[in-house]
Chain A
Amino acid sequence: MSENPKAIPNKVVDLLVSEVLRKNNVNIDSAKSNLNDEQKKAIKDLVEELKTQVDSFVNQSPDKKE
């Protein structure tokens, strides 16, 4: 069960996010312009770290007890 690499199909998440953004009249271009390079880099680092943590949690060899 947990070996399944994709919990939720990509398209579902994609649709969910775009639907929420559309419904709230979010202008994605102005959102992009709100970010400077420093913030972009910070977010990128954050996301990458979380991604590694999630990957290692999902594929972890569980702690052994005896």
Chain B
Amino acid sequence: MGRWNCTKCNQKNSKRKMNCKHCYTPCGSMEEESVMAMETESVMVMESVMAMDNRQVRYMRDNNSEDALVDQGYDQIFLMEQESDELIWIKDSCNVNVSTTDTQGAVSLQVGLQLAIALVISISLGDSEQGRAVAQEIFQKFDDEQSNKQRIYIENSKDVDIHTTDTDLSLNIQALLDVLLTLVVRIDVL
């Protein structure tokens, strides 16, 4: 230990942390060499891992493209983003009447309708790829993003009457119900 070869003149030196006794090049060549060797080794390991990954990916791709009926994951159909934000600020006022929509109930109603549609499809068509494809296509029509922001400020007022409705939600719910009813009529239940 402690012996090192000078990088410049290849002179053998015995003590660490000193300059080369022949050309006065600073010590450190040995450590650098070993570090570099280690780095190249790990790079090689990484390259082999990547090579394996590529092979696997190619294998998976070749296997999947054969007879894929539904390319998207099934869960993706329920992707629906909604944001409802409501702020009501009442200050220095009296006799104020505010009525708002119960958004939470509406959202759960919407989820209930979606589940019912999926259920009707899966019962009538069976849990087949065909059934999944139909369900996915129906829900894709509702794959939307909604953002609702309401701000109401009331200040220094008297005898105010305010009504707010979340129109987006009620529209969505009605549309889902329409689809469910149409489906059910098609399979002769109603």
A interface, CB within 8 angstroms of B: 1-2, 6-8, 10, 13-14, 16-18, 20-21, 23-26, 28, 31-32, 34-35, 39-40, 43-44, 46-47, 50-51, 53-54, 57-58, 60-66
Q: A7 vs B113: C-alpha distance in the bound complex, in angstroms? A: 15
Report B-chain residues with C-beta under 8 Å of the C-beta of A50: 109, 112-113, 116, 177, 180
Contacts of B188 in A (CB 8 A): 32, 40
Interface of chain A, main secondary structure: helix
CB distance from B144 to the nearest CB of A (A): 13
Check if B99 sits within 8 Å of A62, measured CB to CB: yes
Q: Are A1 and B116 in contact (CB under 8 A)?
A: no
CB-contacts of B105-145 with A (<8 A): 105-106, 109, 112-113, 116, 119-120, 123-126, 130, 133-134, 137-138, 141
Given contacts A31-B124, A44-B189, A54-B177, whether A64 and B113 have CB atoms under 8 Å apart is no
**B182: Cβ under 8 A from any A Cβ:** yes
Q: Quick check: A54 and B173 within 8 Å, CB to CB?
A: yes
Instruction: Give the shortest distance, in Å, between A37 (CB) and chain B (any CB).
Output: 10
B102 at the interface (CB under 8 A from A): yes
Q: How far apart sit A64 and B190, CA to CA, in the bound complex (Å)?
A: 36
Q: 8 A-B Cβ contacts within 8 A?
A: A2-B167, A8-B174, A17-B138, A17-B186, A18-B186, A31-B187, A43-B184, A64-B97
Given contacts A8-B174, A16-B138, A20-B138, 6 further A-B contacts (CB under 8 A): A10-B178, A24-B133, A34-B124, A43-B120, A54-B174, A65-B99
The residues of B that contact A35 with a CB separation of less than 8 Å are 123-124, 187, 189
Question: Given A35-B123, A43-B120, are A58 and B178 neighbors across the interface (CB < 8 Å)?
Answer: no
> Bound complex: CA of A48 vs CA of B181, how far in Å?
9
